[in-house]
Structure 1
Amino acid sequence: MRWVTLLLTLIVSINSAVALASPLENGLKKASEGDFKTAVELLEPLAKKGNSDAQYNLGAIYYSGKLGVANPAKAIKLFNTAAESGHVEAAHNLGYIFYMGAGAKRDLTLAFKWFSQAASAGHIESQVSLATLYVNGQGVTKDISKAAYWFERAAEKDNMQAAYNLGIIFSSGEGVEKDYQKAKKWLLAVAEKGHVNAQFYLGNLYLNGRGEKANPIVAKQWYKKAANAGHAEAQYAIAMLDFIGIDGQPDYEAALAMFHKSANGWDRNAQYYLGHHYYYGLGVKKEMMEAYKWFDLAAANGHSDAHYMRSIVAHHLTEKQVDTAHKNALQWFDANHDNPHKHYDLKPHSH
């Protein structure tokens, strides 16, 4: 299951929208002007009297170091007091702090507690964060159905991350009844707004006929949107559709061009098929050394079949040509090292 990485945001901005007692307004005004010393002098008496907005904003000042030196311990104490009075942003901040271990020892149980409080009060980012805790079983027993509930609450308020995750959940059927129509509904909602992973995943659903008859033409349209944004796997998918030919007529030149784009994003399958193009002369002149280079790169990238094909190509080359082709692969490797790319495993490695 492919999840969007959880992005937790700590709210440290001063809540200038609050309009209560005049001292609070004055304190927030001073903070917005950058006079944090005076802001603290005005807000502290209110905080001691139990004003949760003053407590929250004081916490934001201390946490963010607006007085010159950050004081997370004091900030956490203020956030805690405010959150216990029902202050939503303070509860979210505590969830963030304990989830990240940012200013306090990491405590996923406390993160779950505070995200739950803020989520129940309608805080969108906390709803996404709480759902993600359920997905990963952090601070709570893993429960995809409860994750789906909270993702849906956030998605209903146009949170793109939540909508994408809902689409993945309903497509996989993990923890919920598999429902491709619901999956497409949520994926479409964000794909149309430019969510690249949603565009790619929609392409997969239409290509494989999930919930309806397979439609490679519509699939390719969604792949193209993701490919134009640099999505290497979408570029590979388009290349394969051209390679096979949706209408039974392969377009090897178009496939070759798209395989190159995908290979530059370090897609090992694209690198492997580039080797085939140059080995068999598909859409390009046969070039054994170029074929060897791409099979060499694919093999180094973990493509098991590339090892065999590389050995086949080596029989067509002299020892000197093999050495040169390998050096060409290394040069490509170094030249494209910084291209955005994914890794196929989590093992420590170096380029």
Structure 2
Amino acid sequence: MIRICISKAATVVLVCAVIGLTMSGQMAFAQPVDQGEAALRAGNVTQARDIWEENVATGDAAAMRNLARLHYTNSIMDADLERAHTLLSDAVAQGNGDANLDLGYLYQNGIGVPQSLARAEAFYSKASQAGNLEAAFLHARLVLGRKASPIETRQALAELKATSDAGHPPAVAAVGDLFRTGTFLVKDVEKAIEYYTFAGEKGDLDALNTIGDIYAFAELGVADIEQAATWYERAAAQGNAASSYSLALVLYSDPEANDTDLARAFDYAQIAALAWNEGAQFLLGRMYLEDRATIPDPFEAYRWLDLAASANVFEAHHYRAIAGRELGPERAQQAHESAAQWFTENHATPHIHRLLSGNYHSFN
């Protein structure tokens, strides 16, 4: 049971997950599974889009919502954010109350519309009232992240607790966040780990990654890198890009790392970089410059550092300049064009960027 302790100063909690993305990075669409979703799961985004376009023409509200998600997550090259908003509004008008969840996400993050947390909160509330657990979770988080009255705060905590008790993994992890930080609840990091563990067992791989962070950041009193690596590896084995990056960084940063450790670090960094983790792209670029985990290759270094720099990794600009100096102007331009080609060919893969406003990513 959650003991409610109202804090006078609420800390802002940032929502980092993109609606419509599960923890494994695969896009989750309206049920039941249709031909469009089957095509998407098979990796054929274009076919999924074509199927949903046909269904939208018949007034299919679920198809409207799914097609809108392809647009606002930039999963198609000609993404149209204005159309995404229209499709979601039409879906709501057709009786798809869950589309309010997506509208809330657009307004919360300013995707295709002026950012408005008040409107986001209102849309999440509508979806929550229709029984959508994700909306209830996000609604509670928004209320707890703003200046709220004591009554609003108690109601939001109760909503979060009910959603957690219902087993919704992000809500369970969110309660863990409150225990971890001592926000609204009495700080109890060990209790937080219990919540994160439960959430992780239910599929929230970011929760497992957070446990790794707790051990790495000495939140139990002393840093325990071995325990941190164990949790990172557990999540990485299930496809969590953030954990793959964290594990690569831990292994690579060890001055006593042997060749096996460095090879593992390289493999994990590569996995996370290919999954669009900007930190891993930066680390992989460094690895190609430094003669430790792989044979130095300034061309590959420039490619990955170029991609990391485009995702707002500030330090990547400096390392890219170093790689460019080794390559010379002509080869550096070729590396840039290679990075641009990889960006174009792979950017439809659903992913999120931690350092970019509205998850909007362009490559020049």
TM-score by length of 1: 0.61
2: CA distance between counterparts of 1:108 and 1:192? 29
- The CA deviation string for residues 39-70 of structure 1, in whole angstroms up to 9 with x for no partner, is xxxxxxxxxxxxxxxxxxxxxxxxxxxxxxx9
Compared with structure 1, are the counterparts of its residues 114 and 210 closer, same or farther at alpha carbon in structure 2 (3 Å cutoff)? same
Q: 1:279 aligns with which of 285, 289, 311?
A: 289
Name the residue aligned to 1:23. none
Q: 1:331 aligns with which of 330, 338, 341?
A: 341
Higher Cα radius of gyration:
1
Compared with structure 1, are the counterparts of its residues 172 and 143 closer, same or farther at alpha carbon in structure 2 (3 Å cutoff)? farther
Name the residue aligned to 2:357. 346
Amino acid across the alignment from 2:264: A
Does residue 128 of structure 2 align to residue 148 of structure 1? Answer: no
Compared with structure 1, are the counterparts of its residues 308 and 185 closer, same or farther at alpha carbon in structure 2 (3 Å cutoff)? same
Name the residue aligned to 1:226. 235
Q: Once the 2 structures are TM-superposed, how far is the Cα of residue 350 of structure 1 from its aligned partner?
A: 3.9
- The CA deviation string for residues 96-138 of structure 1, in whole angstroms up to 9 with x for no partner, is 979969xxxx79679869969x99xxx9789646634533559
Name the residue aligned to 2:37. none
Name the residue aligned to 2:195. 186
Name the residue aligned to 2:303. 293
- Percent of residue pairs bearing the same amino acid type: 26
Q: Once the 2 structures are TM-superposed, how far is the Cα of residue 259 of structure 1 from its aligned partner?
A: 0.9
Q: 1:306 aligns with which of 312, 316, 320?
A: 316
- The CA deviation string for residues 182-228 of structure 1, in whole angstroms up to 9 with x for no partner, is 21121112212332121111111122122343322222222123223
Does residue 286 of structure 2 align to residue 256 of structure 1? Answer: no
1: CA distance between counterparts of 2:98 and 2:361? 33
Compared with structure 1, are the counterparts of its residues 186 and 215 closer, same or farther at alpha carbon in structure 2 (3 Å cutoff)? same
Whether contact under 8 Å (1:109, 1:140) holds in the other structure is: no
Compared with structure 1, are the counterparts of its residues 135 and 294 closer, same or farther at alpha carbon in structure 2 (3 Å cutoff)? same
Structure 2: give runs of 5+ residues left out of the alignment: 1-12, 21-90, 105-118
Give matches, 1:95-114, under 5 Å. Answer: none
Q: Once the 2 structures are TM-superposed, how far is the Cα of residue 331 of structure 1 from its aligned partner?
A: 1.9
Name the residue aligned to 1:168. 177
SS in 1 for 2:294: coil
Whether contact under 8 Å (2:310, 2:362) holds in the other structure is: no
TM-score by length of 2: 0.59
2: CA distance between counterparts of 1:2 and 1:188? 21
Compared with structure 1, are the counterparts of its residues 179 and 247 closer, same or farther at alpha carbon in structure 2 (3 Å cutoff)? farther
Q: CA RMSD in A?
A: 4.1
Whether contact under 8 Å (2:285, 2:302) holds in the other structure is: yes
Amino acid across the alignment from 1:252: L
Whether contact under 8 Å (2:180, 2:189) holds in the other structure is: yes
2: CA distance between counterparts of 1:334 and 1:149? 45
Amino acid across the alignment from 1:271: Q
Compared with structure 1, are the counterparts of its residues 211 and 188 closer, same or farther at alpha carbon in structure 2 (3 Å cutoff)? same
Q: 2:143 aligns with which of 134, 138, 147?
A: 134
1: CA distance between counterparts of 2:210 and 2:191? 14
- The CA deviation string for residues 240-276 of structure 1, in whole angstroms up to 9 with x for no partner, is 1110239655722211111111111222221122222
Structure number with the bigger relative contact order (C-alpha 8 A, sep ≥ 6) is: 2
Whether contact under 8 Å (2:124, 2:138) holds in the other structure is: no
Q: Once the 2 structures are TM-superposed, how far is the Cα of residue 2 of structure 1 from its aligned partner?
A: 4.9
- The CA deviation string for residues 80-102 of structure 1, in whole angstroms up to 9 with x for no partner, is xxxxxxxxxxxxx999979969x
2: CA distance between counterparts of 1:345 and 1:210? 28
Give matches, 1:68-83, under 5 Å. Answer: none
Compared with structure 1, are the counterparts of its residues 72 and 236 closer, same or farther at alpha carbon in structure 2 (3 Å cutoff)? closer
Name the residue aligned to 1:67. none
Aligned positions, number: 265
Structure 1: give runs of 5+ residues left out of the alignment: 8-69, 76-92
Compared with structure 1, are the counterparts of its residues 151 and 281 closer, same or farther at alpha carbon in structure 2 (3 Å cutoff)? same
- The CA deviation string for residues 159-192 of structure 1, in whole angstroms up to 9 with x for no partner, is 3332111011221233333221221121112212
